[in-house]
A and B are shown apart, each in its own frame.
Chain A
Amino acid sequence: MKLHEYQAKDIFADAGIPVPESQLATSVDEAVDAAESIGYPVAIKAQVHVGGRGKAGGIKIASDEDEARQYADEILGMDLKGYTVEQVLVEAGVDFTDELYVGVTMDRGEGEPVAMVSTQGGVNIEEVAEENPDAIAREHVDPAFGLHPYQARKAVYDAGVDRSVARDVSSILTTLYDLYEERDASDIEVNPVMITSDGDVVAADAVMNIDDDALFRQSELAEMEDETYEDELEKKAGEYGFDYVRLDGNVGIIGNGAGLVMTTLDLVDYYGGKPANFLDIGGGAKAERVTNALDMVFSDENVDAVVFNIFGGITRGDEVAKGINEALESFDEIPKKVVVRLAGTNAEEGMEILNTDLVEVEETLEDAVQRAVENAQEASQ
Chain B
Amino acid sequence: MSILVDDDTRVVVQGITGGEGKFHTGQMEAYGTNVVAGAVPGKGGQEVDGIPVYDTVDEAVREEDADASVVFVPPAFAGDAVFEALDTDLDLVVAITEGIPTQDMAKVNKRLSEVDTRLIGPNCPGIITPGEAKLGILPGNIFADGNVGLVSRSGTLTYQVVDNLTARGIGQTTAIGIGGDPIIGTDFVDALSLFEADDETDAVVMCGEIGGEDEEEAANFIDEHMETPVAGFIAGRTAPPGKRMGHAGAIVSGSGTGTAESKINALNDAGVPVGDTPEEVADNIESFL
Contact = CB atoms under 8 A, between A and B. Distances in A.
Contacts of A278: 239, 243, 245-246
Given A113-B106, A313-B156, A366 B277 contact: yes
A258 B139 contact: no
22 contacts: A108-B183, A213-B101, A214-B102, A216-B75, A258-B154, A258-B180, A259-B152, A259-B153, A259-B154, A259-B157, A260-B156, A261-B156, A261-B245, A262-B238, A266-B236, A266-B276, A267-B277, A268-B238, A313-B125, A313-B138, A314-B137, A366-B279
Interface in B33-78: 75-76
Interface string B100-112: 1111111101110
A206 to B, nearest CB: 20
A245 B240 contact: yes
B159 A108 contact: no
Given A106-B182, A258-B180, A112 B109 contact: yes
B237 interface: yes
* Secondary structure call for the A interface: mixed
B28 interface: no
A266 B245 CA distance: 13
A186 B246 CA distance: 16
Contact of A260 (B139, B157, B210, B277): B157
B188 to A, nearest CB: 13
A186 B20 CA distance: 29
B160 A311 contact: yes
Interface in B184-230: 207, 209-210, 212-213
A314 B20 contact: yes
Interface of B: 20, 24, 75-76, 98-107, 109-111, 125, 137-139, 142, 152-160, 163, 180, 182-183, 207, 209-210, 212-213, 233, 235-240, 243-250, 253-255, 276-279
Given A258-B246, A314-B137, A345-B139, A263 B212 contact: no
Contact of B209 (A181, A216, A262, A284): A262
Contact of A213 (B102, B153, B207, B250): B102
Given A112-B106, A112-B110, A113-B106, A263 B20 contact: no
A109 B279 CA distance: 31
B268 to A, nearest CB: 17
Contacts of A313: 125, 137-139, 155-156, 159
A275 B240 CA distance: 11
Nearest to B112: A111
Contacts of A364: 279
B98 A283 contact: yes
Interface residues of A, number: 53
B107 A266 contact: no
A256 interface: yes
A280 B247 CA distance: 10
A255 B245 CA distance: 12
A106 B125 CA distance: 24
A345 B249 CA distance: 26
Contact of B240 (A130, A213, A247, A258): A247
A41 interface: no
A213 B239 contact: no
Given A258-B180, A263-B160, A344 B139 contact: yes
A343 to B, nearest CB: 6
Given A257-B157, A258-B180, A366-B279, A111 B106 contact: yes
Contacts of B279: 364, 366
A294 B219 CA distance: 39
A111 B110 CA distance: 8
Greatest chain B CB density within 10 A among A181, A258, A345, A365 is at A258
Greatest chain A CB density within 10 A among B106, B111, B276 is at B106
Nearest to B257: A130
A365 B160 contact: yes
Interface in A91-147: 106, 108-109, 111-113, 126, 129-130, 142-144
B139 A186 contact: no
A213 B183 CA distance: 13
Contacts of B105: 111
A214 B236 CA distance: 26
A213 B110 contact: no
Interface string A244-258: 010100000001111
B209 A259 contact: yes
Interface in A249-307: 255-263, 265-270, 275, 278, 280, 283-284
Contacts of A280: 246
B154 A108 contact: no
A311 B125 CA distance: 13
Contacts of A343: 142, 159-160, 163
A319 interface: no
A267 B278 CA distance: 10
B156 A109 contact: no
A347 to B, nearest CB: 9
Contacts of B253: 126
Given A112-B109, A211-B102, A259-B207, A311 B250 contact: no
A284 B245 CA distance: 18
Contacts of B157: 257, 259-260, 263
B101 A106 contact: no
B220 to A, nearest CB: 13
A266 B235 contact: yes
A313 B155 CA distance: 8
B160 A265 contact: no
A55 interface: no
Contact of B255 (A130, A214, A255, A261): A130
